[in-house]
Amino acid sequence: MVGEAWANGAVTTVYAKRTLQTTLETLQDESKTLAQDSDIPAAQLTEAQQQIKNLQQTVNAIAAAIEQRDRTSLSAQLQQLSFEEQTLRTLAQNGDVAR
């Protein structure tokens, strides 16, 4: 993860921010793709889009922590990101949302 790499000094702030921006764009694209898939039941679609929104918020918080050089906040956000990723994986496995 780029946040961990930044915290360890392995990547620059500019690189980390650019990577996180790309991540946000990818999440937005995935949200649009899900919305266009008429095969997904409405309840599952709503849940998947909420999880994507949660991921977007966490990625934004990671970017802010990096911008402010706040390693304590970054650590907390990386833990949150891990939780959000696991939740999304579980949703995809149980609801067959990921394609």
Domain boundaries, the chain: 2-95
Q: How far apart are CA 4 and CA 2, in angstroms?
A: 5
C-alpha separations of 1 from 51, 64, 81, 93 in Å:
19, 16, 10, 22
Query: What integer pLDDT is reported at residue 41 of this predicted model?
Result: 85
CATH class of 2-95: mainly alpha
The pLDDT tens digits for 8-63 are 999 999 999 999 999 999 999 999 998 887 788 888 888 888 999 999 999 999 99
Closest to 52 (Cα-Cα) out of 73, 26, 75: 26
C-alpha separations of 63 from 28, 81, 90 in Å:
16, 12, 25
Q: Are 73 and 81 within 8 A, CB to CB?
A: no
The pLDDT tens digits for 52-94 are 999 999 999 999 999 999 999 999 999 999 999 888 888 778 7
